[in-house]
């Protein structure tokens, strides 16, 4: 989505986020549960799998858009 926090961080379609600040996303730790430990404005380090490569990106968390 244009201008989204994901786009600003450099995430692309089909990227797979596997860690946030070194915390592995798995059955025990979902993306949502890990992100709930942070606040709007915090910067997190994302470990991403993209086309067989592992990348590290930084993302600044923003408030979810209201619907």
**Start-to-end C-alpha separation, the chain:** 15
pTM of the model: 0.86
In the predicted model, what is the mean pLDDT of residues 7-33?
Answer: 94
pLDDT one-digit tens code per residue, 21-66: 999 999 999 999 999 999 999 999 999 999 999 999 999 999 877 7
What is the model's pLDDT at position 67?
Answer: 62
Give residue limits of the domains in the chain. Answer: 5-60
What is the model's pLDDT at position 34?
Answer: 95
**Tokens found for residue 24:** 């592995």
CATH class of 5-60: mainly beta
What is the model's pLDDT at position 1?
Answer: 64
Around Cβ 20, how many Cβ atoms within 10 Å?
Answer: 19
What is the model's pLDDT at position 6?
Answer: 87
């Amino acid at each position: 989505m244009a201008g989204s926090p994901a786009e600003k961080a450099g995430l692309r379609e089909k990227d797979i986020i596997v860690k946030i600040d070194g915390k592995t996303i798995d059955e025990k730790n979902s993306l949502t549960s890990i992100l709930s430990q942070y606040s709007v404005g915090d910067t997190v380090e994302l470990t991403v799998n993209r086309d067989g490569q592992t990348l590290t990106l930084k993302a600044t968390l923003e408030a979810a858009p209201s619907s």
